[in-house]
Structure 1
Amino acid sequence: MPFDHDTLVGFSKSFGLFYLIAMSIGVLIYTFWPSNQKRFQQAAKDAISNEDDKPWH
């Protein structure tokens, strides 16, 4: 079965689409997994803390 350019382009576009959908679903599952809530809460608190927001003297 010879592969021409159009066949390979069609396969790569389809595979890339399903790959990106699967990665997006994986990221969403990781983000909303209940055991990760504490980690994200701490990261949000650290990002907006005022402790390090001082002039440098």
Structure 2
Amino acid sequence: MELYTAMRHFADSWGLLAMSAFFVCAVLFTLRPGGKQRAKEAADIPLKDD
């Protein structure tokens, strides 16, 4: 039971911080300059003829 309590406290504090940081980084990565062109190129891959 003591391990459960320790893991719960860790998840409540550092786990939430880590998930929030990951979310912010994912949003910033998606909205970075030049990302639109690379996303368009990746979206067009299935439509290219061999």
**TM-score, with structure 1 as normaliser:** 0.63
SS at match of 1:34: coil
Percent identity of paired positions between Structure 1 and Structure 2:
24
| Unmatched 5+ stretches in structure 2 | none
Query: Is 1:28 matched up with 2:27?
Result: yes
Q: Which residue of 1 aligns with 2:49?
A: 51
Structure richer in helix, relative to its length: 2
Q: Which residue of 2 aligns with 1:17?
A: 16
Query: Is 1:37 matched up with 2:36?
Result: yes
Question: What is the rounded CA distance, in whole Å, between the counterparts of 1:37 and 1:28 in structure 2?
Answer: 13
Runs of 4+ in structure 1 off by over 4 angstroms are none
Q: 2:19 corresponds to which letter in structure 1?
A: L
SS at match of 2:49: coil
Find the structure with the greater CA-based Rg: 1
- Give the root-mean-square deviation of aligned CA atoms: 1.7
Question: What is the rounded CA distance, in whole Å, between the counterparts of 2:38 and 2:48 in structure 1?
Answer: 19
